[in-house]
Amino acid sequence: MSYDQDLMETASGTRTSSGGRSAGSGTGPGSDEDELLPQLVAHLREHRTKLRQEWAERIQSSGLLHAMTPQEMTAETTSVYDNYVEVLETGSVEALQRYARDLSERIIPRGVETHEVVGIVLLLRDVLARSLFEKYQRDFGMLNRVLDAYEPAANRIANTVAVSFVDERERVIRQQQDSIRELSTPVLPVRERLLILPIIGVLDSERARQLTEQLLTGIRTHRAKVVVIDITGVPDVDEAVADHLVRTVDASRLMGASVIITGLSPEIAQTLVTIGVDLSKMDTIGDLQGGLEEAERLLGFSVTRGDGVSGP
């Protein structure tokens, strides 16, 4: 607090002296550029409450950030404002970057859009610029120089915030993609040495590659002899993917496991025959139930209903 007052005093002292000087020498190269930013910062600190309120009002009137409660808005706008001024003062965007990333992490799950974040930062830039216009309206040369110092810094801040937000968003998207990918090809042991792979959703070549990798590793870890791949949930198969499936079946055979494919839809079956994929090596059975029964037969299991249990 005392530090702030101190700073304000010295800064306002500088301001009057430099203002006087620049008034005296007209538009000449009067005051040092280095003095302008501290002066600017002091001004923004001095009118912090007023400017912050003005900014919050403009955010509200533009209908941005409706996902936040007024209290949250006050808290966040205050921190953004302080961070903003700090960057102007120190020229270092690292703290702001950290803050922006942290803020993004909090607001992305609540559906805040990129245009809102950018809009808010640009609004703050405008509000501050307006206040500078007002302050220096009588000294055009001074205003020009102040804006020269202010604009690059302000643009850099807007850039930093936007980039941090987008980065964070992309990180979230990547993370979600990874988890979808991991979930999407589970390799499930159902009996000793019997695995099933239910595949749901579109099989693109990336997923097919992953499927192969997980299947072959699964065969080794579970010491599987029979694998049932169920593609009931796959809407469509193209030639490349069908080819990949055939290779996967071949590779599984090299590892000593036989593969049964179940749940080929009529459309897929027709496509496969039309595009002429060599399916002679593929063992296919209509549905998962049939596939499991065949697999159990291959492994020598026989499933019987217990005596004590009444039928359905």
Partner 1 sequence: MTPGPKLVSILRQGPYLIASVHTALDDTQMTRFQEDLIEQIGRHRSRGVIIDVAALDVLDSFATRTLRTIGEIARLRGARTIIVGIQPEVAFAIVSLGMSTGSLETALDLEEGLTYLDGPTWREPDRARAAR
| Closer to partner 1 by Cβ: residue 42 or 211 | 211
Residues that bind partner 1 (CB under 8 A): 212-213, 216-217, 219-220, 223-225, 247-248, 250-257
Q: Which residues is 226 bridged to in the sheet?
A: 194, 258
Q: Return the structure tokens found at 304.
A: 């019987």
| Closer to partner 1 by Cβ: residue 170 or 278 | 278
C-beta of residue 110 within 8 angstroms of C-beta of residue 84: no
Sheet strands (E) in the chain: 188-191, 194-200, 226-233, 258-262, 283-285
Task: Provide CB contacts within 8 A for 225, sequence distance 6+.
Answer: 193, 194, 256, 257, 258, 298, 299
* CA–CA gap between residue 37 and residue 146 (Å, rounded): 8
C-alpha distances in angstroms, 181 versus 8, 40, 176, 212, 292? 56, 51, 8, 13, 25
Closest CB 122 distance from partner 1, rounded Å = 52
| Closer to partner 1 by Cβ: residue 255 or 275 | 255
| Closer to partner 1 by Cβ: residue 80 or 196 | 196
Closest CB 241 distance from partner 1, rounded Å = 14
Q: Return the structure tokens found at 195.
A: 């695995």
| Closer to partner 1 by Cβ: residue 83 or 252 | 252
Q: Which residues is 189 bridged to in the sheet?
A: 195
Task: Provide CB contacts within 8 A for 80, sequence distance 6+.
Answer: 99, 103, 120, 121, 124
Closest CB 223 distance from partner 1, rounded Å = 6
Closest CB 252 distance from partner 1, rounded Å = 7
Closest CB 183 distance from partner 1, rounded Å = 21
* CA–CA gap between residue 249 and residue 257 (Å, rounded): 9
Quickly tell me which residue has 């055009």 as its tokens: 140
| Closer to partner 1 by Cβ: residue 162 or 216 | 216
Q: Return the structure tokens found at 170.
A: 């992309």
Closest CB 166 distance from partner 1, rounded Å = 37
| Closer to partner 1 by Cβ: residue 50 or 253 | 253
Q: Which residues is 261 bridged to in the sheet?
A: 229, 284
| Closer to partner 1 by Cβ: residue 61 or 302 | 302
Closest CB 295 distance from partner 1, rounded Å = 16
* Length of the chain measured in residues: 312
Closest CB 255 distance from partner 1, rounded Å = 5
